[in-house]
Amino acid sequence: MKTHLSRRAWIASAAAAPLAFDTTLRAAAPGPPPYTLSINIEVMFPRTMPRPQRMEIVAAQGFKAYGFWNTTEEEQDAMLKVQQKTGLKCTSITGPGNSVSNTGLTKPGMEDVFLKDMAARAKMAAKFGGAQSIIFVGKQQPDVPWEQQRSQIVSGLKKVGDIGAEHKMMFIVEPLSSTQAQGRMALDTAAAAFPVIAEVAHPNVRVCFDFYHLQLMEGNVITHLREGLSKGLIGLVQIGEVPGRLEPGTGEIDYAYVFRVLRELNYKGYLDTEMGASTTPEAAMQLTRKMSLEN
């Protein structure tokens, strides 16, 4: 027996369908992810805005963690006051030290300079509550055989790990994308970095998996992410779109899928938003939070 709907009943049921579908979607949302979002306060905010003010905005948006690059001793003191007031946790610091992006561990005879920079970084990380220190291992030296450079990197990073253990913090080696202007960076892909970190085999040395740089250099980011996490080589994950280094959804990386994979792999570390904003920092932060909750 067929049931005939009146025109009024049909319109009512059609109008209710999107609401029911939306309710189903919200009910199926997976909820809080296993990782913790950390807001990087560098690229997202105007350079003229003091970092303590940026931290206040992050805290006001309901986030509990942040990362930054480097700044003066005076501003660091002001940041620590905001950190104490808001309860924000500093997850990562990039800086100080100039050797890391130049001679690093790749140029013979420069290891002591590099280790001195690492000691300064460790003290700064300890000052901010044991934050991770993101580091680079230098440029490739065209006049030095690569195997020699690689051997120096492995040997030097083992000593860096000992510095980290002494200060109860972790060093995170970031594969940094190379440009024609700066020259080729050493360990600028996950494929190059993973075997080195595995050989270093130090609990205080891991890889910073930055989607922005790795998508630019080699792609295949999900395969590398799975490999790095399964082998325990990744200490921090960072996000930023390609091109533009803006918030998720503005470029070519399928970040909804990235968030699902991080959830699937039960990544319990920090997901750092080292990215800019196409509109406002607040909008970029809330978009990222929404995507992380829904995927």
Determine, yes or no, domain membership for 18: no
Q: Over the stretch 165-197, which tens digit does the pLDDT of each residue have?
A: 999 999 999 999 987 777 889 999 999 999 999
Range of 182's domain?
32-294
| Total Cβ atoms within 10 A of residue 265 | 16
Q: Which stretches of the chain are DSSP H helices?
A: 7-28, 51-60, 73-86, 111-127, 146-166, 190-200, 211-217, 221-230, 255-264, 281-294
Q: Compute the average pLDDT of residues 7-32.
A: 54
Which range is least confidently modeled, 73-77, 85-89, 92-96, 270-274? Answer: 92-96
Q: Look at residue 14 in the predicted model and tell me its pLDDT.
A: 46
| Integer angstrom CA distances of residue 278 from 143, 212, 267, 284 | 42, 16, 27, 8
pLDDT band, residue 158 (cuts 50/70/90)? very high
Question: Domain for residue 163, yes or no?
Answer: yes
Mean pLDDT of the chain: 92
C-alpha 115, offset from chain centre? 23
Q: Is residue 150 part of a domain?
A: yes
Alpha-carbon gap, residue 117 to 171, rounded angstroms: 12
CATH of the domain at 111: 3.20.20.150
- The tally of CA atoms less than 13 A away on the side-chain side of residue 290 is 10
- Asked if residue 11 belongs to a domain, the reply is no
Q: What percent of the chain has pLDDT over 90?
A: 84
Q: How many domains does one find in the chain?
A: 1
pLDDT the model gives residue 6: 52
Structure tokens at 44: 């997202």
Whole-model pTM: value is 0.89
Residue 21 lies in a domain: no
In a domain, 221, yes or no: yes
140-to-134, 161, 172 alpha-carbon distances in Å = 19, 22, 19
- What pLDDT is attached to residue 12? 46
Angle at 176 between CA 174 and CA 182, to 5 degrees: 145
In a domain, 17, yes or no: no
Q: Looking at the domain assignment, is residue 13 inside a domain? A: no
Tokens read off for 104: 């690093």
Give the strand pairing for 234-238 and 270-272: parallel
